């Protein structure tokens, strides 16, 4: 039957024909071509049904009604897509200036930490990290702090069980490295540390620390001074003065604390430095022979120096921040300044 071929051709091309329309005018033109009352292709085929044999009329009528319904649905869907596009275009004013999205920034602690690492990497030091959950042996005993040593009280600890705790310093990483390696060694160990400190403007129970270690033959205190002097000048500027003050640490002998001239007053004295002109930034010293014995090094053959600094303190001094709590409050007004 000729009418069946026409229905089949319409069915085959219907979707592609409607979807090819680019404007509302083209959609209206296709509607008239298919469903127009006088000359619509589907309308004309419907008018020919009475001319068909009785047995064929129901089947052809059913096919044409189905085709008509499909055409109406496709046309309506295409029209709605144009309306949605118009609404979007009406909402966009292309003459307005663009909105600049908020871009994340590196936290000031991480900025300073990265700067510290870059300085020491430039001196040939390797960056090594270790576990934050440590045993008593690595956190204390291997660092010359046996049970009941008073230094353990100063580092009031978060114990997990009777022998494991959250590390109070990153120095245990140095022990782990020395156990597995032979000198020469030059390394720094950055990471988080935990102590039971009451929270105030200068103390927080979670803080970042960087420990450093150098071991080789014929290393002297002069090597330590030269290394830390270079670090201070790179971090705070070449005009910054520093001094080494005798101190005590269980794992170094002799030991010294390092002070820098106050970055606020230049050393003349102010409220930041308590009118002393100096600010303490880190601890250091020559590795105690007892520590070398713990890792199987011959203290008669090898010498070394070690140092440790709090990253928050370095950051506070570098940027003139007076409260450590600001680093942990996620206040964008503060963080966006860096």
The CATH number of whichever domain residue 305 belongs to comes to: 3.30.930.10
Instruction: Evaluate whether residue 248 is within a structural domain.
Output: yes
User: Do 87 and 114 belong together in one domain?
Assistant: no
Q: pTM of this prediction?
A: 0.68
Instruction: Classify residue 23: in a domain, yes or no.
Output: yes
Residue 258 falls within a domain, yes or no? yes
Q: Is residue 102 part of a domain?
A: no
Instruction: Note the pLDDT of residue 293.
Output: 94
H-type alpha helices, the chain: 2-19, 24-35, 41-47, 57-91, 108-122, 136-139, 150-154, 172-180, 221-236, 289-294, 311-319, 332-335
pLDDT at site 295: 94
Please give the tally of structural domains in the chain: 2
Residue 59's Cβ-count burial label (10 Å; 0-12, 13-18, 19+) is exposed
Q: Are residues 152 and 241 in the same domain?
A: yes
Q: Which domain holds residue 57?
A: 2-91
pLDDT of residue 217: 95
Listed in sequence order, the residues at least 6 apart from 294 whose beta carbon sits closer than 8 Å to its beta carbon are: 141, 142, 144, 175
Same domain flag for 222 and 187:
yes
Tens of pLDDT, residues 39-68:
777 777 777 777 777 777 787 777 777 877
The predicted pLDDT at position 103 comes to 78
Question: In this structure, are 269 and 324 located in the same domain?
Answer: yes
Give pLDDT, residue 40. 75
Q: Does 272 lie in the same domain as 233? A: yes
Question: Which H or E element spans position 213?
Answer: strand 206-216
φ/ψ region of 125 (left if φ > 0, alpha if ψ in -120 to 50, else beta) reads beta
pLDDT of residue 91: 63
- On whether both 146 and 24 belong to a single domain, the answer is no
Identify the pLDDT of residue 85: 59
Q: Domain check: are 76 and 139 in the same one?
A: no
Question: Which residues of the chain are modeled with pLDDT < 50?
Answer: none
Q: What token pair was written down for 321? A: 């921040």
> Can you give the pLDDT at residue 278?
87
Point out the domain boundary residue: 56, 91, 126: 91
């Amino acid at each position: 039957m000729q009418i069946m071929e026409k229905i089949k051709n319409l069915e085959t091309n219907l979707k592609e024909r409607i979807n090819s329309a680019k404007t509302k005018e083209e959609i209206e033109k296709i509607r008239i071509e298919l469903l127009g009352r006088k000359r619509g292709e589907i309308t004309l085929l419907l008018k020919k049904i009475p001319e068909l044999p009785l047995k064929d009329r129901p089947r052809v009528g059913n096919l044409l009604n189905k085709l008509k319904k499909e055409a109406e649905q496709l046309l309506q869907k295409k029209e709605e897509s144009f309306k949605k596009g118009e609404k979007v275009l009406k909402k966009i004013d292309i003459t307005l200036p663009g909105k600049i999205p908020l871009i994340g920034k590196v936290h000031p602690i991480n900025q300073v930490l990265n700067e510290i690492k870059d300085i020491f990497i430039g001196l040939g030091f390797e960056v090594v990290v270790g576990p934050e959950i440590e045993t008593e042996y690595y956190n204390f005993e291997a660092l010359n702090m046996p049970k009941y040593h008073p230094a353990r009280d100063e580092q009031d600890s978060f114990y997990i069980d009777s022998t494991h705790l959250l590390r109070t310093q990153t120095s245990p990483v140095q022990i782990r490295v020395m156990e597995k390696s032979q000198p020469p060694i030059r390394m720094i160990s950055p990471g988080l540390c935990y102590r039971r400190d009451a929270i105030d403007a200068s103390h927080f129970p979670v803080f970042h620390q960087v420990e450093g270690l150098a071991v080789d033959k014929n290393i002297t205190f002069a090597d330590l001074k030269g290394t830390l002097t270079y670090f201070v000048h790179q971090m705070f500027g070449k005009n910054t003065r520093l001094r080494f003050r005798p101190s005590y640490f269980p794992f170094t002998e002799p030991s010294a604390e390092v002070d820098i001239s106050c970055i606020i007053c230049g050393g003349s004295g102010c409220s930041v430095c308590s009118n002393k002109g100096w600010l303490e930034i880190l601890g250091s010293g020559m590795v105690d022979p007892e520590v070398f014995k713990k890792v199987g090094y011959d203290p008669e053959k090898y010498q070394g120096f070690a140092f440790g600094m709090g990253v928050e303190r370095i950051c506070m001094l570098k940027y003139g921040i007076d409260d450590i709590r600001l680093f942990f409050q996620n206040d964008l007004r503060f963080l966006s300044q860096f």
